[in-house]
Amino acid sequence: MINLLILFASALGVGFISAMAGIGGGSLLVPFMVLVLGYNIKVAVAAGLLCVIATSSMAASEYLKKNIVDLKTALLLEPITSLGAIIGANLTLSLPSDVVEGLLGILLLYVSLTMLRKSLQKQGVEENNTRPGKISGRRKTYGMTASFVAGLMSGMLGIGGGVLKVPIMSLIMGIPIKIAVATSSFMIGLTASSGGIIYLVNGMVKAEVAAPLIVGIIPGAYLGARYLRKLKPRTVRLVFAILLLYASIRLIYSLIM
């Protein structure tokens, strides 16, 4: 019973933060389940993808109503991202658990440092822009290539892809951060579903784990999406970066020691 309450409470907080940051929650939830609760990484990855779907459905509905989702970019990037997620899920099932943990730690370290650097830079006027601009053909090509990698990492590590999609859209494609967050939230549910099916078929989805997580993450994601516009973009990025940095250090440290 206590374990169920811990899962519910952690999912509530993860849902709130992940909706504001445009991630599915897996990048925070999977390390928590492995490092704190002691779950097998593959079970945690499967649960993380289910939570990503729940987070995406709640947050995306709010962002669509606010008209800050760039649907054109989402439709451009999502097919190749989903393909990457299917390939990634199959890769994880064939890899040792400690290898998967190491990959997750390295990925989160890179992304957290990138976002931390960006959050500490001087804020420009475009940061508060909530209208998508024109994206060049070269940026689209870079974005699609990077999105395949995001999908691959999503399927492998249960992160939904938002942890990479937000930096891809913001840093590579030049999309304003709030639009990137909203568009990522819209996309990650589809990406997670593609990878999640592979884990479901292989028996890695545990109902007793997934149920309290989904029940907690849905209201958390709803509240996070509601509060996004009340926060400065730099604040959203900074909180996101610090949490990911902490999780990455814990994962890498646990493997080294």
Q: What is the rounded distance in angstroms from the CA atom of residue 205 to the CA atom of residue 169?
A: 30
Q: What is the pLDDT of residue 88?
A: 92
Q: What is the pLDDT of residue 132?
A: 55
Q: What is the pLDDT of residue 24?
A: 61
157 to 9, 73, 144, 163, 195: CA distances (angstroms): 22, 24, 20, 11, 10
- Token digits of residue 97: 């658990």
Per-residue pLDDT in tens (0 to 9) along the chain, 257 residues: 677 888 888 888 888 877 776 666 777 788 888 888 888 888 888 888 888 887 777 778 878 888 888 999 999 999 999 999 999 999 999 988 888 888 888 888 887 887 787 777 655 544 555 555 678 888 889 989 999 988 998 898 887 677 778 888 888 888 888 888 888 888 888 888 888 899 989 988 888 888 888 888 888 877 877 776 666 667 767 777 887 788 788 778 767 76
Q: What is the rounded distance in angstroms from the CA atom of residue 201 to the CA atom of residue 197?
A: 6
Q: What is the pLDDT of residue 189?
A: 84
Alpha carbon 93 to chain centroid, angstroms = 20
Q: What is the pLDDT of residue 125?
A: 44
Q: What is the rounded distance in angstroms from the CA atom of residue 184 to the CA atom of residue 78?
A: 10
Asked if 52 and 24 count as a contact pair (C-beta separation under 8 A), the reply is yes
Q: What is the pLDDT of residue 139?
A: 87
Q: What is the rounded distance in angstroms from the CA atom of residue 218 to the CA atom of residue 142?
A: 33
Angle at 28 between CA 106 and CA 100, to 5 degrees: 40
Nearest to 115 by CA among 224, 236, 232: 236
What are 152-172's pLDDT values in tens digits? 988 988 876 777 788 888 888
Q: In the chain, how long is the greatest CA-to-CA distance?
A: 53
Nearest to 160 by CA among 195, 132, 212, 125: 195
Q: Is 123 helix (H, G, I), strand (E, B) or coil?
A: coil
Asked if 218 and 58 count as a contact pair (C-beta separation under 8 A), the reply is yes
E strand or H helix that includes residue 59:
helix 41-65
In this structure, the dihedral spanned by the alpha carbons of residues 25, 62, 223 and 160, taken in order and rounded to 10 degrees, is 0
Nearest to 173 by CA among 140, 144, 149, 197: 140
- Token digits of residue 72: 């054109």
- Round to the nearest angstrom and report the end-to-end CA distance of the chain: 31
What are 35-77's pLDDT values in tens digits? 888 888 888 888 888 888 877 777 788 788 888 889 999 999 9
- Token digits of residue 19: 């909706």
Asked if 108 and 173 count as a contact pair (C-beta separation under 8 A), the reply is no
